[in-house]
Amino acid sequence: MRDKNTRLLCLGAVLMAASATWPAFGRCIDEDNIEQRPNKGTGTPLTDAGGPRAALQAMVNEARKRSQIIGANKLLTEAALLDVKETKSGAWPQVNLSGSAGYAQNKATGIEDSQGNQTRATLSLTAPLYDGGRQNRLTDWRNSLAEAARFGQLSAEEQVALQTVSLAVERSRYRLQVQVYQQYSRKMSCLVEALETIVRADKGRTSELVQAQKNLQQAEISQAQTVSMVRQVEIRLRRFVGDGLPSTEGLSSVLLDLPSLNDLIAQAEASSDIAQLGAQAEAAESYAKSVNALKKPQVNWVFSGSKSAGAGESTAISAGVNFNIPLYAPGTAYASDAAFKRAEAARLQRADALEGRRFRMAEVHEQAMSSFDRAHRLIDVLRDSERVRNFTLQQWQQLGRRSLFDVMSSESEHYGLRVAYVNALYDAQQSAALLRSLGLGISNWLE
């Protein structure tokens, strides 16, 4: 009987010690609020994204100012415009002045010899009258190249904008994950504290304490790794926008609206990359026509005047028209055919790029839809997971029908689902950003 009472007293002490920890464990409230949840089936933001969107636009503007690639493309555009002016000047009269000074000797039968120092100056003026349209085609070629350079600059700006937005969104993803792991660590820390109190009364439950400590360490490792990912993303982001990184608050709500696929495909042709290829194809065709114009007659008008002083002083003036008619130039025909084939190849490259972009849009749109659907489904799973963890904790605390391992398993599963939800939400937003970049551009959308 005494042994029985002793066992009962020990059991009562253990239960009292455990019950004393249950309120403490119950006070380990974690913030289960997910920062942003998309409306089911629509992807429409639940909150006003004007503030975060304006912050993104400010970051993109700063990245453009700092980008050396954009600066290089801007200089290339300016250089291409100067090339246009240089080509246009070929239709204007060309004036040249040349001269010489030195010793000269002139000898001819029946004419008095002259020798001695002589200086000569020659002024010439030439201008094209007819060139078979070559000059106009060359000007068109340069104009198209300048347009291609301008679209190249816009494409570089779009790439910088997309990288900036993607890094900002990725930074928000990892910072939100850090919050989840912090909450998980706090929950496990509270559980460890509760079990330390229990183990002081019941050494037989040391294995449960060890298991809880292991889960706490795993949560802290995940948190530390995610913090490191935040720092890595911020290092890459500072390259674009400098040290003044804005807050990530609200960024999870910026890109939750997903345009229809038909609207996006209709915008594909207006993208900077496709427009640049189109301008390059037009440039190649204009150049081919300029090469073909070499087969036609070339007519120029010429004025020339020269004056010699010193030995053999003389004056000469001439004015008239020069012409050149190609009669047999097989190399020109080959060059013309090659240029036209390159122009056709450029058109096919544009068509292939446009087709590839449309299929890429369809692929990314499907990825975005899948990520949004996954996020919606995870919301329901998270709701059920919350109920399961609450029931498991209650059954362990009050009824003793569940083991501590069940409690830790439900907690681990729940926080794992929360991280999965964050990933699904941000995967969808990254796809939405890429879709807009493939169309009219993320910069156009931000404005």
Between 318 and 84, the more confident residue is 84
Cα–Cα–Cα angle for 7, 11, 17, rounded to 5 degrees: 145
Task: Name the CATH superfamily for 2-91+133-292+334-446.
Answer: Outer membrane efflux proteins (OEP) (1.20.1600.10)
pLDDT for residue 375 is more than 80: yes
Separation of alpha carbons 162 and 141, rounded Å: 31
Given this model, what pLDDT does residue 42 score? Answer: 38
Q: Look at residue 131 and give its three-state secondary structure.
A: coil
- pLDDT more than 90, % of the chain: 45
Written as one string, the DSSP assignment of 411-425 is: HHHHHHHHHHHHHHH
Length of the chain (residues) = 447
How far apart are alpha carbons 161 and 57 in whole angstroms? 9
**Run of H or E including 271:** none
CA–CA gap between residue 140 and residue 142 (Å, rounded)? 5
| Lowest-confidence segment of 195-204, 255-264, 431-440 by average pLDDT | 195-204
Query: What pLDDT does 246 receive?
Result: 83
**pLDDT single digits (tens) 299-343:** 888 888 888 777 667 788 888 888 888 888 888 889 999 999 999
The pLDDT score that the predictor gives to residue 202 is 79
Helix (H, G, I), strand (E, B) or coil at 95: strand
The position carrying tokens 């068509």 is 351
- Amino acid symbol at 354: L
Q: Mean of the pLDDT values across residues 241-251?
A: 84
Q: How many CB atoms lie within 10 A of CB 55?
A: 19
Per DSSP, the three-state class of 193 is: helix
Q: What whole-number distance in Å separates Cα of residue 223 and Cα of residue 219?
A: 6
pLDDT of residue 274: 94
Output DSSP code: residue 294. G
48-57, 120-129, 207-216, 341-350: range with highest mean pLDDT: 341-350
Closest CA to 131 of 283, 289, 285: 289
Among 157-171, 290-304, 314-328, the range of highest mean pLDDT: 157-171
Give 7's pLDDT tier (boundaries 50, 70, 90): very low
CB neighbours (10 Å) of residue 294? 17
**12 has a pLDDT exceeding 80:** no
Give residue-wise pLDDT tens across range 379-405.
999 999 888 888 888 887 775 677 778
And the tokens for 198? 């229990």
Res 399: pLDDT: 57
Whether the CB-CB separation of 161 and 60 falls below 8 Å is answered with: yes
What are the two backbone dihedrals, phi and then psi, of residue 300, each rounded to the nearest 5 degrees? Answer: -130, 150
**pLDDT for residue 3:** 44
Q: Cβ(238)–Cβ(245) under 8 Å?
A: yes
Residue 22 pLDDT greater than 70, yes or no: no
User: Quick one: CA torsion of 137, 128, 294, 139, rounded to 10 degrees?
Assistant: -20
**Residue 430, pLDDT above cutoff 70:** yes
- Which residues are 127's β-sheet partners? 301
| pLDDT at site 108 | 59
Spatial contact of 24 and 190, defined as CB atoms under 8 Å apart: yes
How many helical (H) and strand (E) elements, i.e. helices and strands, does the chain have?
A: 10, 4
Mean pLDDT over the full length of the chain: 83
The larger pLDDT score, comparing residue 150 to residue 299, is at: 150
Rounded to the nearest 10 degrees, how much is the dihedral formed by the CA atoms of 411, 412, 413, 417? 100
pLDDT of residue 46: 34
**pLDDT at residue 30 tops 70:** no
CA distance 301 to 332: 24
pLDDT tens readout for residues 91-131: 888 888 888 887 766 665 555 566 677 788 888 888 888 88
pLDDT in tens, 132-142: 888 999 999 99
- Parallel/antiparallel/unpaired status of strands 298-310 and 111-130: antiparallel
